[in-house]
Amino acid sequence: MRMSMISAALVAALVGFGASVSIVLAAAQALGATPAQTASWLAAVSIAKGLGMILLSGWTRVPVVLAWSTPGAALIATTSGIGMNEAVGAFLFAALLIVLTALLPPIRRAVSAIPDGVAAAMLAGVLLPFCMAAARYAGTDPAFALPIIAMFLAMRLIQPLTAALAALALGLILGFALSPAQPPAFDIALNPFVFVLPEVSVPVLLGLGLPLYLVTMASQNLPGFAVLRANGYEPPVGRALGVTGLGSALSALFGAHTHSMAAITAAICLGPDVHPDKDERWKVGLIQGVIWIALGFLGPYFTSVMLALPASIIGTVAGLALILPFLGAVQTAFTPEHTRFAAAVTLITTASGVAAFGIGAAFWGLVAGVVITLADRLRR
């Protein structure tokens, strides 16, 4: 064990938490979650992925780093008319699909058959409204939004990885300095969990559960496996999908959405500066797991702090944090020329927010993209 491993794990955890916690809170607010349910959501997903990192890293001797599905949280935050019970049913459905993907090769082949450009365009369409919200808040609440945007842009020139974290830190300072809100007293919850009874609704399963599964697989798991390969490790695909799927199913009962492989924060933990011997770097997964479990028990406190802030702060930080994922999704969507038109239709349909038969826009965007792709293939 080296100090460099502890340092890398701590930095990765703080970046992963600080850069996207506002998006998870926005998702909870979109579903009408109570403060207790929101705290349970944050605690359950943090502890579940912490335990998953410890299990997978110790089992496979590979430095497995997990993350909550940030694009998935953004997808949830764009939904409307769905309550927590129906959403938990969709979370369970997405988690079980991940488990089935680990067990059944035909499902893996079916997911792989979806064109990369179309899947990325669906993700871009989900993220675009979030990114636009930051610009809107700059006009409606400039006292909070403009300094946060300036901090983000300045840190992006110095240290891009911590730009969103710095924006969140400034947002906390401004929120409690310029508004009547007061920071809550520090508290650690020994039992932060609130059980949420799942409710099955077919339109919600198709409109939220299926897109959540696809977004988690395409934008989190596949890049996460690619980062491991790029650093000389053979990804434990089956075991990773099985553990994250089962963990997501259990944490869903306490209001949490899916967690998955990490890509950006994993890259922090896999380099030679962490440990010169790559066969020893698996221990960083154990450290990350312990840190995330601790963050999970602090979840209710972080939730109460964030919920005390004006909505414009959370919305601005969330929009800024999703600019780079949006850029990556757009690049992937429009790189393959043969699916470029299908990707454009997918992005437009998803970003429009259209809902038909009670099913959300992400599903219809994916359907439109796949249908156009098949039509183009037949024409050729």
Spatial CA neighbour of 16 closest among 315, 295, 306 = 295
- Which range is least confidently modeled, 239-243, 310-314, 370-374? 310-314
The better pLDDT of the pair 303, 67 is held by: 67
- Which range is least confidently modeled, 95-104, 157-166, 177-186? 177-186
DSSP state, 278?
G
pLDDT confidence bin for 163, thresholds 50/70/90:
confident
180: pLDDT strictly greater than 80: no
pLDDT confidence bin for 6, thresholds 50/70/90:
confident
Distance from C-alpha of 163 to C-alpha of 244, rounded to nearest angstrom: 28
| pLDDT tens digits, 129-157 | 888 988 999 998 898 999 999 999 999 89
Helix residue ranges per DSSP H, the chain = 3-30, 35-60, 70-77, 84-103, 105-113, 116-140, 142-158, 163-178, 202-204, 210-216, 222-230, 237-252, 264-268, 283-297, 299-307, 311-321, 323-334, 340-352, 361-379
Asked whether the beta carbons of 104 and 253 are under 8 A apart, the reply is: no
Phi and psi angles of residue 46, each rounded to the nearest 5 degrees, phi first: -70, -45
Give the CA count within 13 Å in the CB-facing half-sphere of 225. Answer: 14
What angle (nearest 5°) sits at the alpha carbon of residue 146, between those of residues 144 and 152? 105
Q: Give the distance from CA 282 to its chain's centroid.
A: 23
At 129, list the tokens: 């409204």
Q: Look at residue 1 in the predicted model and tell me its pLDDT.
A: 66
Phi and psi angles of residue 207, each rounded to the nearest 5 degrees, phi first: -85, -25
- Mean per-residue pLDDT for 231-244? 90
Q: Which residues are paired to 117 by β-bridges? A: none
| pLDDT tens digits, 251-290 | 999 999 999 998 777 877 887 878 888 889 999 999 999 9
- Mean per-residue pLDDT for 50-70? 94
329: pLDDT strictly greater than 90: no
Task: Write down the pTM of the prediction.
Answer: 0.82
- Mean per-residue pLDDT for 314-318? 85
Q: Can you tell me whether residue 62 is helix, strand or coil?
A: coil
**Three-state secondary structure readout of 135-196:** HHHHHHCHHHHHHHHHHHHHHHHHCHHHHHHHHHHHHHHHHHHHCCCCCCCCCCCCCCCCCC
At 294, list the tokens: 């601790």
